[in-house]
Chain A
Amino acid sequence: GENVEQHPSTLSVQEGDSAVIKCTYSDSASNYFPWYKQELGKGPQLIIDIRSNVGEKKDQRIAVTLNKTAKHFSLHITETQPEDSAVYFCAADSSSNTGKLIFGQGTTLQVKP
């Protein structure tokens, strides 16, 4: 069935260091891969997304890479800041083309000042 695995579940880095979160997906027909940041008491906020016709996308300190052959994608945050501390979720669209997103289990990122 449809599944997205996300690792690690927790990640602690020093301010200024880089953070990498990795996800694998099961449905080879998935074409859209968004990343969300969720702060305490808030809903998930879309921070970056990538489509299957692109291998890498960057937006300031955030970048996402996609390897369709291996069915995995990663989020890279450079020069981390304390305000980057949050729970991050990866997701993949369902092959049913209905906009259904399958989410990973989340990564709690802590950036220490």
Chain B
Amino acid sequence: DAGVTQSPTHLIKTRGQQVTLRCSPKSGHDTVSWYQQALGQGPQFIFQYYEEEERQRGNFPDRFSGHQFPNYSSELNVNALLLGDSALYLCASSLGPGNNQPQHFGDGTRLSIL
């Protein structure tokens, strides 16, 4: 039973560039949430995708955007990268979008901005 997989595992970019991160949910899950985890902090919610639509956005600017595909996989795009975007980006999947649905995380993509 494959868990949540994310790619790439590490990425180095420079300020102003754009990046795309990818996530495949756990088998049987249809909902994907993205979180940003700064060093030494808890994860912060970016947004969630269900039925190929963004359901809710956290306190992140429009530079952060996403997409969900018919096979439930998802992408996170970040434009005009800033030094402060350096973080671990986590994808979590669940069965259904509402509360009370356990979310299972991948191992994340470590993004470093130079």
Contact = CB atoms under 8 A, between A and B. Distances in A.
Interface of A: 4, 6, 31-32, 34, 36, 41-46, 49, 51, 89, 91, 93-94, 96-106
B99 interface: yes
A49 B102 contact: yes
Size range of the interface on B?
A: 20 to 34
Interface stretch (B42-50, B63-71, B79-87): B42-50
Contact of B105 (A6, A36, A105): A36
Contact of A105 (B41, B48, B107): B41
Contact of B48 (A32, A34, A98, A103): A98
Given A43-B90, A51-B100, A97-B98, A103 B43 contact: yes
Contact of A100 (B33, B40, B105): B33
Contact of A106 (B42, B45, B90): B42
Contacts, number: 74
A97 B97 CA distance: 8
Given A45-B105, A100-B48, A94 B99 contact: yes
B37 to A, nearest CB: 8
Contacts of A49: 102
Given A44-B90, A98-B56, A103 B103 contact: no
